[in-house]
Amino acid sequence: MTDARLRHGRSSLALSFFVQGVAFALLVTRIPAIQDRYGISDGLLPLFLAAVPVLAGAGSVATGKLVKRRSPVAVLRWSQPVVLLSLPAVGAGSRVWQVALALGMFGLAVGALDASMNMLGVSLQQAYGRSIMLGFHATYSLGGILGASLAWAGAHWDLPLVISYLPVVLVLLPAALLGSRWYVDVVDPSSAKGTDGPGGGATVGSAVPFALLLPLCLVMAFAYIGDSTVSNWSAKYLQDVLGSSEELATVPYNAYMVTTLLGRAVGDLGVRRFGAVAVVRCGTALAAGGFAVVALAPGPWTGLAGFTLLGLGLCVIVPQTFAAAGRRAVVNGGPGASNAAVARLNVFNYVGIPDRGAVGRGTGGRVELPGSDARSDGVGAGDVAVRQVVRAGVRPIRCRP
């Protein structure tokens, strides 16, 4: 494969990460507005927030099976438009079943999207022979900053949700489809020819026991407990508990994305100089400090500072965990095992979200949302469903001969 082909593949994949950052930020920072539009009670809201990661986990598991026959290029190319189109669907409805359907569509598609994006990122990093995964996730953070800023503007001018979402989708959807022409899956020889033929990830390999991936899966789950605290609950936390305005409630996610962008922009250089282990340890210490500040925050501005510090710490953990899973799978199962390992690991993105991912649980009880008991608010149901998805994804990874 030529250097030019690799560069084009890297640029197009970075665009995909950017688009997903915009889309996700637009959704999660307007959760209070979505709740108000559909009249969703505080007791029912955790059910919706738990259902999305459950479906995303199912989408990730399905992607792990699909890429044994098709390239991740095809999965990413068609899952990203579904994610984007689900945004105006969320904003245009008027009944609870309509937003439930739209969020369900978003959840399934985002699981496939996250898995396939990171499969291609790991594949490209292996081809480059140096750390580039943090760069992809930095573009995601940049997209998150833009998305959160657009959400702030929508809240500031009191725009209807569909008016906030539709123009963004009309711009990003054609860009994503155009960029998808240059996706590259280094593991799949057919993608080097610009096709989506069978065989993606289906190179000869042996079984990779789940036990080899388990430590990385646990790291991923704990990292996303922190990430989901910001993405799903920071707006509710500032507005309902710390008494901020609706406009200020959109800011924590934006600040979080700014610090993740800064950390990831220099993260690849840090990994090359100091090693992945040292970078991840430093990030873990900063994230712990951010959690402490959020838990003890007396007011909205202190809470905002805690979320900002949390982003600076968490930003390096997830990309390096994906990269480590890809390396471990290749060493133990051959190139074809990498995609399946990333799909299995990606399931644990979503384990931390319903499993006490809400601030009410994630900060030692600092927030007492109505109906916060796991047996009555649907979070416990989300736990059970996610665990069923995880069980479906923990069998040894096998590549077709």
Per-residue pLDDT of the chain (401 residues; tens, 9 = 90+): 678 899 999 999 999 999 999 999 999 889 889 999 999 988 888 888 888 989 999 999 899 889 888 889 999 999 999 999 999 999 998 899 999 999 999 999 999 999 999 999 998 988 888 888 889 999 998 998 899 889 989 988 989 999 999 999 999 999 999 999 999 988 654 444 444 444 444 343 445 666 677 788 888 888 877 787 777 677 777 777 777 777 787 788 778 878 888 888 888 888 888 887 788 888 888 888 888 888 888 888 888 888 888 888 888 888 888 888 777 776 666 656 778 788 888 888 777 555 433 433 333 333 333 333 333 333 333 334 333 433 444 444 443 33
Give the pLDDT of residue 89. Answer: 96
Amino acid at the residue 208: V
DSSP β-bridge partners for residue 208: 397
SS3 208: strand
Are the CB atoms for 168 and 24 separated by under 8 Å? no
Q: Provide the terminal-to-terminal Cα distance of the chain, rounded to the nearest Å.
A: 23
Please tell me the number of Cα atoms within 13 Å of 20 on its side-chain side: 28
What HEC string does 37-61 produce? HHCCCCCCHHHHHHHHHHHHHHHHH
Element at 389 (helix H, strand E):
helix 379-392
DSSP β-bridge partners for residue 397: 208
pTM: 0.76
DSSP designation for 396: P
Are the CB atoms for 72 and 338 separated by under 8 Å? no
